[in-house]
Structure 1
Amino acid sequence: MPRRVAIDGYGDTFFHFAGMSHAGSILALPSGIRPWSPTRMAEVDAEALAPILAEAQAFELLFLGTGKDPAHLKEPLKQLLRAAGLRFELMPTPQAAATYNVLLAEGRLIGAALIAV
């Protein structure tokens, strides 16, 4: 059964969650945590957002972890997220993971797309 879990830790190119570890970027969505292909913001495109958009009805706020540094999302991609009814915040991955955990603990309907640092 899919479940939402907190991100227990992260480091150089990996994340820890639910007693497991994953090397690389991740999606933390209502269906669970899974690998995500982008390694930097320049690789985030409509295809990379497709799994997020497929679950957009299940949550209302997306945290997009941009890696080590702040970054921007291209306007057409912002429009895709907005058209799906999602609000979103971009911030460096450490802050995005921490904010995701706080709001998850509050029971909020959230998701995260986190580029590994």
Structure 2
Amino acid sequence: MAERRYEGFVPGRHQIDAYGNGGFRFADMSHKGSVLALPSGVKAWEATSGQGLAPADFLAVRAEADDIELLIVGTGVELVPLSEAVRWHLRELRIAVEVMPTGAAARTYNVLVAEGRKVAAALVAVA
């Protein structure tokens, strides 16, 4: 089957099939840029770096907070700590957060989705 491109949102839970070259593959589709993998589906995410992420970057996570117990944040090639403002924002939503490089985040997300956990991922694209 030929790989398809998508225009910003694919409904449903999907594992990340591949990452790199500035994007991701999932559900027989490809996307250039960062993504949010949420309980409702995978959507484009404007973040281009793990540096400088703010609570406003996680509004889509807030909208689905009741269905998320753990948010895995992939910050790119390197681990970039989240700001206290972001950590407090997620804590107020009662969402635990784990931060790691994007590759490890995608792999961890896939395992937890396969286990049926209430997990989401915010993944910064890597080259």
Normalised by the size of structure 2, how large is the TM-score?
0.89
Letter in 2 for 1:115: V
Aligned partner of residue 30 in structure 2, secondary structure: strand
**Is 1:35 the counterpart of 2:50 in the alignment?**
no
Specify the alignment match of 2:78 in structure 1: 69
**What is the aligned-residue RMSD (CA, Å)?**
1.2
| Runs ≥4 residues deviating over 4 A | none
Distance across 2 between alignment mates of 1:6 and 1:41: 21
Equivalences, count: 117
Distance across 1 between alignment mates of 2:112 and 2:58: 21
**Is 1:104 the counterpart of 2:108 in the alignment?**
no
**Is 1:114 the counterpart of 2:123 in the alignment?**
yes
1:31-63 deviation digits (Å, cap 9, x = unpaired): 100100010022421221111111111110000
Q: Report which of the two structures shows the higher radius of gyration computed on alpha carbons.
A: 2
Select which of 53, 56, 64 maps to 1:47: 56
- Residue 75 (structure 1) shift: 0.3
Q: Going by fraction, where is helix more abundant, 1 or 2?
A: 1
Distance across 1 between alignment mates of 2:31 and 2:43: 9
Distance across 1 between alignment mates of 2:11 and 2:43: 11
**Percent of aligned pairs sharing the same letter:** 47
- Residue 4 (structure 1) shift: 0.6
Specify the alignment match of 2:18 in structure 1: 9
1:1-27 deviation digits (Å, cap 9, x = unpaired): 931110000112110000000000000
Structure 1 unaligned blocks of 5 or more = none
Structure 2 unaligned blocks of 5 or more = 1-9
Aligned partner of residue 42 in structure 1, secondary structure: coil
**Is 1:93 the counterpart of 2:110 in the alignment?**
no
Select which of 4, 24, 33 maps to 1:24: 33
Contact 2:24-2:31 at 8 Å conserved across structures = yes
